[in-house]
Structure 1
């Protein structure tokens, strides 16, 4: 697991101390000296290094939020009441009055809780809550006005840039979260990443029932044909597929694989293929549960519900009670022909260092693209693998001359471009 930390250079020691109790995690440090550097540094790191989660303060988050992938777990540092209390006690240790004081960035609820707990005078607190639209100059002006109005001995600021501008005679106490708060937020982010992984790797079951076969095809032959169709569907390349007799065909796989095959539970092209190529009508059900048995039971319930539809369709039933459907057969499945070109594909796969099935799926994706270029991330989604695996696959194909760089695309006007590649697998019969 890789977690990125976006921090000011003066805070690294505190974060390193907080991370001592976190094992099995690689930390990627994005260290800045000025807030204006955050955006470029984060963009560069995301382009060069995969991260599973990102921990950063509210200011860095505001600077780069549009660069962050929507599915990236992100934790925004929030200073707790304990951190504010420690800053106030630090002031007491220096013989400063706890109030009046001028504070920025903390939310009003946290400040109110600390004031009540320490029995301080609310009238002596000048607070400017965090607002991403406020500039450093505006925050500095707020503190200067508060100091002039109240005669406060010091300022508590979470903004490094603000503290730097106030160090012309005004004492500033940093309100950076302490190791305990940082440690808790790091652990929470690690658990969030782990939960996301567990969800993606959670096993699920699919039940495919032959609802109706053509006059020239009995149900037994129809089930065999359906099973062969599923085996030759690239999205199910890593699934366990079994002919269960009257129950139809059962598929066991990770939840993420089924999400890929159904375009996130929207459509199931295999239904249309079964009707077009085999002349059979299929009802499909998917189940996601805590065990293989519950997955299968839920999938059978979903398939029974799909059979009640007037057209080929599919349903999903989760153990949480969520039901999605009906899914239509809209879209076209990407077919691959490994069995038709076995020897040639196996020879090329051995040269490249990939399995013949993987190479055949890549050839199918190339045919579906019809000459268009693709990014490593999009290729990963086509194959149902992770983005890092997609990038590693591109590198391996590049070493064998099976892809070529085809420029880049600007994903966002302020973001970094993504490199595009054209697949050169070729038809199996034309393999190099």
Structure 2
């Protein structure tokens, strides 16, 4: 299957980076080239409207310019300049007969600058570094370079930013850092492999068992099972699935994992059991199994269905090969909740304001108290509540909209990939203030 990748870059680097992609096969590149930062947002929005992307590769500046409207499930690779680019740029300066210092450097991480300059035996007091920050303007970067060069005559500038090159190039000695084709090629291949891995994961096998609950007479049970079977066969979401009887009161559905992700709205709800209850008058317990083989998936699905029967209402459960049980998945789209005996009037009022259950707010308040003000990512929240990552992201958005969470920067867990936004919960503080 052909893969479509978005590539967002400065126009001065377009030929170099497009040439770097020449070794990729089965990939179509959609290039967004810009001359000024103000062009990034409208051009990226136009690209997203024009074509469906399987992934995107872009630098820190374009990422910060359009991160708020990028699809949350779009695989990204956010490129950074590395030790090799800085080393080669300093090597160019030495080859031109320039002294090892003084040098003012922007955009590179401070740790990279320290590693390179110390390895080259350069004096630390002759090196100034201004690391990348989203809120640093061009005027501030240029002021940083100009002040350092005035205080250290005879030095030169190393910059990543084309605007800095344009405005300072004729005033001071300056070298512009160019991305290496090998680095871009590695980033592209890594992104392609990541997308292929995600596709393979979505196409992995899964099974669902739908059991009719609450029928004593065989004739009624047979009629109920046949009705459930026909309903699933005529459900558009199961058009690509294999649906058949499973025992006297059950129906088995075998399909790719991606199909079940859609049917359960990323494992947050299960509308189909509500449809069976409304249209057929049946209470259905559903179980989903994700394992390494078809047989294993069916066994896990049967165990999950048995667990779903214990809840006394139409719902479903998911069980994976590690024994993790997720549920109940109820007909509505309410996120998975946790039940506590007492909530209190303040907590109940806060839950209504946020559009969440009191049990969920209670659990979130416990997580907030445990964190003691430390920020967390949507994935961390999902792990704490034993829900899926997409459910964690949806929950964070609800908390932000109701004033129960605020953004607190971002974290780059790995050098490659999308930086993760961090959030601070304010639930415990809000409850104590009411």
- TM-score computed with the length of structure 2 as normaliser: 0.72
Deviates more, 1:199-208 or 1:154-163: 199-208
Residue by residue over 1:144-173, the C-alpha shift from the partner in whole angstroms, topping out at 9 and shown as x without a partner, is: 111111224321111000111111132222
1:177 maps to what in 2? 179
User: CA separation in 2, counterparts of 1:112 and 1:323?
Assistant: 48
Cα displacement (A) at 1:267: 2.1
2:20 maps to what in 1? 18
CA spacing shift, 1:4–1:276, aligned 2, 3 Å: closer
Cα displacement (A) at 1:320: 4.9
- Classify the secondary structure of the residue corresponding to 2:57: strand
User: CA separation in 2, counterparts of 1:227 and 1:178?
Assistant: 58
Unaligned residue ranges in structure 1 (runs of 5+): 332-432
User: CA separation in 1, counterparts of 2:276 and 2:247?
Assistant: 18
The answer to whether the 8 A contact 1:35-1:161 is kept is no
User: CA separation in 1, counterparts of 2:60 and 2:322?
Assistant: 34
User: CA separation in 1, counterparts of 2:38 and 2:52?
Assistant: 23
2:224 maps to what in 1? 222
Cα displacement (A) at 1:280: 3.2
- Specify which of 121, 136, 139 is matched with residue 137 of structure 1: 139
The answer to whether the 8 A contact 1:213-1:281 is kept is no
Residue by residue over 1:363-389, the C-alpha shift from the partner in whole angstroms, topping out at 9 and shown as x without a partner, is: xxxxxxxxxxxxxxxxxxxxxxxxxxx
1:92 maps to what in 2? 94
1:240 maps to what in 2? 242
2:9 maps to what in 1? 7
Cα displacement (A) at 1:43: 1.4
CA spacing shift, 1:85–1:227, aligned 2, 3 Å: same
The answer to whether the 8 A contact 1:214-1:280 is kept is no
The answer to whether the 8 A contact 1:285-1:315 is kept is yes
Residue by residue over 1:238-284, the C-alpha shift from the partner in whole angstroms, topping out at 9 and shown as x without a partner, is: 21101122472110112222122222222222223333443432211
Deviates more, 1:81-90 or 1:144-153: 144-153
Cα displacement (A) at 1:203: 2.6
- Classify the secondary structure of the residue corresponding to 1:3: strand
CA spacing shift, 1:163–1:283, aligned 2, 3 Å: same
- Classify the secondary structure of the residue corresponding to 1:143: helix
CA spacing shift, 1:310–1:152, aligned 2, 3 Å: farther
Cα displacement (A) at 1:139: 0.5
Deviates more, 1:112-121 or 1:2-11: 112-121
- Classify the secondary structure of the residue corresponding to 2:255: strand
2:32 maps to what in 1? 30
1:80 maps to what in 2? 82
- TM-score computed with the length of structure 1 as normaliser: 0.72
Matched, 1:47 2:49: yes
- Classify the secondary structure of the residue corresponding to 1:67: coil
Matched, 1:209 2:207: no
User: CA separation in 1, counterparts of 2:323 and 2:119?
Assistant: 43
CA spacing shift, 1:101–1:204, aligned 2, 3 Å: same
Cα displacement (A) at 1:96: 0.8
User: CA separation in 2, counterparts of 1:206 and 1:87?
Assistant: 57
The 5-angstrom pairing of residues 21-420 of structure 1 reads 21-213=23-215, 215=217, 217-246=219-248, 248-330=250-332
User: CA separation in 2, counterparts of 1:93 and 1:103?
Assistant: 18
